[in-house]
Structure 1
């Protein structure tokens, strides 16, 4: 089993660049606009972070760290993607999605009350990640042979908004710092993945600690039905559902 990708118009289209009927909107971050693409969700899924949640967090970050980010994508993963490549989010250093292109941060829709299993023989990295997830508010149940993480819309939002989003910005900052003024990215791509992840985790942790101390986060979900409707979005994409696999493809 593999995730299908497609050759279209003379180039490969990666699976996370294949969106079904996304709605495009803009938000002002500093002195520039970014595009946010929102893909409709399947029944039982939601986008835990709203476009205005995301814009607010990006405005809290240093402008020089976000000025090169062109797109934020709220996407609905398909069944194979959730099985073979489950993520909270990802950074694409260059992406082309329909007529939109540039550096893109993807944030994945999740089941409103999903679970995830972890083997009890955890590596140090996995043990640290599990601890971070518990800190985000997910409930951890210890069973005989595994850990089961129970998620809620609130805990998903905490993970994606306050940790995943700045984590992906951290990857971009690491990229900029590594290539330097010469704009030579060979050194960055040769860096060990573990070093890249350590930088991004540290960046997200420092963001959380600084902004929490300042009282900027956490904040209430920004969900204005009138604004969403005017922009062509559906409130149901951001609301709680049942039957998480009912319309999955």
Structure 2
């Protein structure tokens, strides 16, 4: 329970890495605010069954206190209201995890910019970059009020890998390399306040969508290695947490 008494915000915690991180923060004893667009009453355009309430319940069951708040992180006023609530109810913020994404259904592999749907491509960038900056703008002033704060920018691919490999779409490539650079830039601004920023990438994540694609569950995921041997290196979302 190393994080007992600490408050964390996992922005984009409905499923995948965000859910795994929220659960592990809960297991360490933290109070964890989990945000996303999908609730039990309202689904996002993903039209998937996972909800922020489920994530909050998992964080609580792990040993912490999970609190679900529906937020679209492209809406500045919604994010400002979220941070005001955390300030009012908790009086502090120790960890901010920027895991907002939501672009899986928008990118088109192996298409140059002139062939890729422009509207979808620009929305990818808004979801991957604007959301993180909006959240940092409102949340970091609360985080730096106490020394020792941590900002985690969740991305896909290490800085070295992304520098050497084209991510098969100009929009996806820019989205995933930007998070690494954002963490580096935020670290410069946070250092005078005794706070830290890092970028974090999972490996081959056994997200809900990935398990579904391979027609397995977390309980029998090894069955997928019969037709995709490399799936043996895949990771539970709680590992990145």
Note whether the superposition's TM-score is higher than 0.5. no
* Higher normalized helix content (fraction of residues): 2
More strand per residue: 1 or 2? 1
Q: What TM-score do you get using the length of structure 1 for normalisation?
A: 0.28
Q: Which has the higher contact order (CA 8 A, sep 6+)?
A: 1
